[in-house]
Structure 1
Amino acid sequence: MIVKLDRDCLWQIFSNLEHDKKSLHSTILVNRIWCEIAIQFLWKKPFRYLYTCPKACGCVAENRHKKARNLLSTFITCMAHNQTSNSIDIQDFVVWTASPPTTFNYLSFLRHIDLYDLFLTLKDGVKYLISNQYFDFVIAYQRHKQHKQDNYQQQQQNNNNNNIYSSNIQDNNNWESKVIQEMSRDICKLLVLHCSNLKNLSIDMANKIWLPGYRCSSLPNISFWITFDEIPIELLKIPTYSGSINCLSQLVEFYWGSTHWTSEFLVALSKVSRKLKKLVIDMSNFGRNESITNAQHLGKLIVAQTALQDIEFIKCKPTILPVIMQGLRTQSKTLSRFFFQGMVKDFSVFSELVHCINLQEIYFIQCNFRCSEVEMLSVSHFPKLIKLIFNIVCFRFPIIIPEILLQNSGKKIRTFSLQQFYYPVNINSDGFIPSVASSVAKYCPNLVEFEYFVTKKEFPQLALLFASCPHLERVTLSGKYENVEELLPMLANQELPNLREFEILGYWTFSSSSLETFFIQSKAPLKKFIISYSPCFSDDHMEVILRCFGNNNNKLSSLHVETKKELSEEILIKANTCIQDFVYKTINDNYETFEAGRSGHSPRISYLGVPIDICLPKEI
């Protein structure tokens, strides 16, 4: 019997293919309904998709230029045939609009624009016109613009110098930049008039939000410091153009990853975009022209929002961070997620954060905390907190900040992560043993996901945690080099009926018998098991896994192994047969992979929503 899926079902299915450009292109050819749905996904963010390719795509610049020209032609054709206002002279785009009306109104599908992607598209499109000798069209565009801007005498002078453009067009970089600037201005004016469904705007000049997908290999390499004039100011004026309130007033997400201040842009955006739900401020590639006055514009953008739910601060400059965060209190009723990355030595982030009592998720990555924050947090309370993530953090005192947070806010926490953390070892803290695992066991009865860097002295605490948190579904443990033979049997003293994912990322040694004891006594229904940087994993360990999880009734769906030991061909064949997602790699003493298994890719380490590729050293 043939089951016909309705549009709603197809939409849900296609949403899983949103980042799979190749599959979406294939679905266009199935039938009309599939085509209509797939097109909407493909044209949600076409400028980003234009430069998204499979890894090591092997594209060449000439093909990229042609695709950019075709994309611009399609969009401008849509705008030309929908143009009803006299505010834009469509003759400016004669070079692009020689096409008949399009099958779909692609403008209505547009949801995401990255201004750097748009700039690259314009740049590539112009290069295509020049390289393919579209001189007459380009000259017509330039002359038409000059006719509107210059007086009669200037126009006559240009008419007397007809040959200037044709003789120097390929060598005059200033002329090319001028054309791109003018096209940037005119296209932005058209976009704000015709794109009323825009939800996401970004300036991602360092390609931080490229994933999922890959940046086309034919694009120029991105330097750490991008020059200030890399993106035309005409694009950064998009909130100032007439009609921008109709286009940008519905924005729900804005990513500010500029390399320099764009104050006019920020001031204008604050006036037209007040419904942002997510705001990302990324200064990791920012220049050195910090200014308190300019930073206030970012703070005012925060204040202008009416229902901000998610905010991220990435490597914001310490000198201006307090100014940027000054408006955080105004969002205390709606803010549910806070992400912070970067070293802060003289500013307490928690001085503003403690007022956001409705937070559900808190992330701190690569941070250096102040001593004064301990007292401040001892009276703080986040009653709705369900996720607490710390990774690569340093505490300047023998008190671990997450412990303080757990005491008052741990009741509803379902996810806790404290990977790679440091604290001082000096005269006043000799013999200090963190009590993080004990605190989690005491204050987090509803814990589901747990990640921790554990030392041998903390093994009893870890066993207590396993006994006190029966809802555990995912556990990731890491640690320095040592023998942990007694750990796994200790953890198995408590049954773990919900544990489905278990990762051992520490450079640990243990026997196959202790691993088998853990599997059998804990009765964990594992579906995914990962072991990395292992100096001991051998055929015997693999035999245990296949014996415990190789049958149909209790079968692993994913197994990733990185070990110094070389496994036999026989055991690898058996593992490949029994486990669908099996990855095996051998490593040397420096953790360098030199032999890949069946899947041909490295398992990606993810710290509960914060993917980071690292190799843990033997000593921390």
Structure 2
Amino acid sequence: MACSKIFSGDIPEVMQNIIENLRDDIKSLYSCILINRNCCFLATPLLWEDPFSVKYRNNLSHHFIDTYFSFLNENDKNKVNKIKFHKSDIKSSYKPLFNYHTLIKTLDTFRMELHIICWLNTTTNNDQGTSNVKAYVQLITLQDESNEEFRLVKANKRNNGIQTICTILFNLFVENNVILNKLHITFTFYNNQLFNSIYKLILNNPTFISNIEEFTIHLFNYNKQFSIIKQFLSSLPSNIKHIEFFLKDENSEEKDIITDLIKSQSQLSSIKMRFSYNILSHSFLDSLKNSSNTLTSLYFGSNNISDLSYDALSNLTQLKSLQFKDCDLNSGIFQSLLKIKTPLKIKTFAIKKIHVREIIEIELFLQKVGYYIKNLVLDIEYIYRNDNHFKERLFDAIINYCEKIQFLHLCHIDYNDIPKLSKIISNFNNTLKFLTLEVKFFNFEHFSYNISINNDVDELKISSMILKLLCDSLPSNLCYLDLNLVINPDDLKLLFDNCDQIDLKRLLIRNRSSHNLD
């Protein structure tokens, strides 16, 4: 099809399809800009859909925020110049090639604050001053802000200029009829002024969020603004497909507003929930019934899965992904899913840093859905009922019931696991493409880089067994290998020699050895 269009002279359409497929490849998009004028016009809008996600670098002569400022009216330009007089000022004569401010599709308030703080920390005059906790801001993975980044924002909480500039940029987008696809809001007690301004702008311009497909809200210390948050959530459109919420403080009303938000949605495809206390309630779980025909992904994080009835989950017949992280896992959730009579075609099943009470339900669950699973992560830290063979039972379940594993991540691998691990790798020789293996660490101080540990004999022996196993049985289609081990260089050399026999695209090695090894 593409060849016929090239021969017919329809190259622009072909290029448009190619560049569209590079949407998530930032480096390639930047390269496309340099090819020719047509590629530049196709690639630039994609680069400006989510500008606040990029890594900020110091000492740039021009920041993308400066480009936005060139579109401000004179009144807003004066406000910005009072906060920070730019060394070249905001030149009204500067005429950009694109209306960059109209291209944005993803907006994250936290990232916006970080970029503005770093913009203010450049070497130009800044009357109000900012607290430069770190010289630069790392690329932030969506909805996973680090403590260091929070400290940076918090350290500048008294700088009203930051919130003023955020509001000015929000207003710029709204006034130019931007329609967002993704909105991520982080609300804390020290940015309530910003949230109030944003809320008023959105309330008066509902089109701005009328097409939101992905919505994230992080709430920290916000009790005084609860009514405004409730009104804001009620103003969201009903066609959101992906919702994530992270709730830091225990508030009984939170359960109601989150439940109401879930109930209001008609096309909900995925829910990701993280909280520092147990927010789950019967009403919240029952609200999932409204999305039983559309909900395909559930993620539970940082929560004590309490002894509630999970019968509502038995309605989720379209579930394709089920993930738990940092949870105290109650078996009731699996019992409810086991009640589903129709085939449950789950492709992704992940349990990360989990404490479980019974292993039998997970075994039965793998028996029910194992045929469909392609992505599997098993990281069980602790089981309440002392069962020295629980990993052996889990590995047997993988061997007996799973057939299509392409992505496999196994943690806490011990001496006794090696024979089963060998059989697992052999079983998925033709399908396995991504493999991550982590040795069991008997001393958790391995995870502190400031402490010297000299006793890692057990980890070294197990790691050696894993590496030798891989040397003998690397899957033929493996393209990604990630190892978190205590490594002997001789074993590693053998692995490198065997890697030449497969088409490995990426190899990630984390050596936790306490010794200096050349």
TM-score by length of 1: 0.61
1:451 alignment partner, one of 353, 377, 385: 377
Aligned residue in 1 for 2:62: 67
Number of residue equivalences: 460
Instruction: Summarize the Cα distance change of 1:584–1:478 in structure 2 as closer, same or farther, 3 Å threshold.
Output: closer
* Cα distance in structure 1, aligned partners of 2:173 and 2:434: 51
Aligned residue in 2 for 1:52: 56
Instruction: Summarize the Cα distance change of 1:448–1:259 in structure 2 as closer, same or farther, 3 Å threshold.
Output: same
2:140 alignment partner, one of 210, 228, 236: 210
Instruction: Map residues 56-135 of structure 1 onto 2, 5 A cutoff.
Output: 59=58, 63-64=59-60, 66-68=61-63, 71=64, 74-77=67-70, 95-115=89-109, 131=125
Instruction: Map residues 451-530 of structure 1 onto 2, 5 A cutoff.
Output: 451-453=377-379, 456-457=389-390, 459-460=392-393, 462-479=395-412, 481-488=414-421, 491=424, 497-507=430-440
Q: Does 1:581 align with 2:506?
A: yes
SS of the counterpart of 2:314?
coil
Aligned residue in 2 for 1:37: 42
Aligned residue in 2 for 1:277: 213
Residue 277 of structure 1, CA deviation: 1.4
Instruction: Summarize the Cα distance change of 1:277–1:270 in structure 2 as closer, same or farther, 3 Å threshold.
Output: farther
Instruction: Map residues 30-429 of structure 1 onto 2, 5 A cutoff.
Output: 30-46=35-51, 48-49=53-54, 51-53=55-57, 59=58, 63-64=59-60, 66-68=61-63, 71=64, 74-77=67-70, 95-115=89-109, 131=125, 173=128, 210-211=140-141, 222=152, 227=157, 229=159, 232-235=162-165, 244=174, 247-248=177-178, 250-260=179-189, 261=192, 262-263=195-196, 265-266=198-199, 268-270=201-203, 272=206, 273-283=209-219, 286-287=220-221, 289-301=223-235, 304-319=236-251, 320-345=253-278, 347-348=280-281, 349-357=284-292, 358-371=294-307, 373=308, 375-377=309-311, 380-395=314-329, 399-408=331-340, 411-423=344-356
* Cα distance in structure 2, aligned partners of 1:446 and 1:572: 31
Q: 2:33 corresponds to which letter in structure 1?
A: I
SS of the counterpart of 1:536?
helix
1:438 alignment partner, one of 364, 379, 384: 364
Aligned residue in 1 for 2:447: none
SS of the counterpart of 1:499?
coil
* Cα distance in structure 1, aligned partners of 2:90 and 2:362: 62
Runs of 5+ unmatched residues, structure 2: 82-88, 131-135, 381-387, 443-458
Residue 242 of structure 1, CA deviation: 9.9
SS of the counterpart of 2:152?
coil
Cα RMSD between the aligned structures?
A: 4.6
* Cα distance in structure 2, aligned partners of 1:378 and 1:89: 51
* Cα distance in structure 2, aligned partners of 1:555 and 1:471: 13
* Cα distance in structure 2, aligned partners of 1:237 and 1:312: 24
SS of the counterpart of 1:505?
strand
Residue 336 of structure 1, CA deviation: 1.0
* Cα distance in structure 1, aligned partners of 2:16 and 2:270: 28
Instruction: Summarize the Cα distance change of 1:356–1:239 in structure 2 as closer, same or farther, 3 Å threshold.
Output: farther
Residue 499 of structure 1, CA deviation: 3.4
2:11 alignment partner, one of 3, 6, 22: 6
Residue 407 of structure 1, CA deviation: 3.1
SS of the counterpart of 1:317?
coil
* Cα distance in structure 2, aligned partners of 1:502 and 1:125: 40
Instruction: Summarize the Cα distance change of 1:26–1:385 in structure 2 as closer, same or farther, 3 Å threshold.
Output: closer
* Cα distance in structure 1, aligned partners of 2:175 and 2:348: 39
Instruction: Summarize the Cα distance change of 1:100–1:13 in structure 2 as closer, same or farther, 3 Å threshold.
Output: same
Instruction: Summarize the Cα distance change of 1:388–1:555 in structure 2 as closer, same or farther, 3 Å threshold.
Output: closer
Q: Deviations over 1:170-197 (max 9, x none)?
A: 7x54xx89xxxxxxxxxxxxxxxxxxxx
Instruction: Summarize the Cα distance change of 1:31–1:316 in structure 2 as closer, same or farther, 3 Å threshold.
Output: same
TM-score by length of 2: 0.71
Residue 99 of structure 1, CA deviation: 2.8
Q: Deviations over 1:435-468 (max 9, x none)?
A: 3122221355422222224662353454244333
Instruction: Summarize the Cα distance change of 1:410–1:403 in structure 2 as closer, same or farther, 3 Å threshold.
Output: farther
Instruction: Summarize the Cα distance change of 1:410–1:392 in structure 2 as closer, same or farther, 3 Å threshold.
Output: farther
- 2:322–2:350 CA contact under 8 A, matched in 1: yes
- 1:341–1:366 CA contact under 8 A, matched in 2: yes
SS of the counterpart of 2:267?
coil
* Cα distance in structure 2, aligned partners of 1:78 and 1:224: 29
Q: Deviations over 1:501-547 (max 9, x none)?
A: 343334299xxxxxxxxxxxxxxxxxxxxxxx664233x76565445
SS of the counterpart of 1:435?
helix
Larger of the two Rg values belongs to structure: 1
Q: Deviations over 1:52-77 (max 9, x none)?
A: 35xxxxx4xxx24x423xx4554454
* Cα distance in structure 1, aligned partners of 2:517 and 2:427: 37
Runs of 5+ unmatched residues, structure 1: 54-58, 81-86, 132-169, 178-205, 425-431, 510-532, 597-620
Residue 385 of structure 1, CA deviation: 0.8
Q: Deviations over 1:142-185 (max 9, x none)?
A: xxxxxxxxxxxxxxxxxxxxxxxxxxxx7x54xx89xxxxxxxx
SS of the counterpart of 1:422?
strand
Identical aligned residues as a percent: 15
* Cα distance in structure 2, aligned partners of 1:220 and 1:423: 32
- 2:243–2:272 CA contact under 8 A, matched in 1: yes
SS of the counterpart of 1:251?
coil
- 2:460–2:488 CA contact under 8 A, matched in 1: no
* Cα distance in structure 2, aligned partners of 1:23 and 1:382: 39
Q: Does 1:560 align with 2:482?
A: yes
* Cα distance in structure 2, aligned partners of 1:241 and 1:18: 27
SS of the counterpart of 1:67?
coil
Residue 384 of structure 1, CA deviation: 1.0
* Cα distance in structure 1, aligned partners of 2:97 and 2:68: 12
Instruction: Summarize the Cα distance change of 1:494–1:246 in structure 2 as closer, same or farther, 3 Å threshold.
Output: same
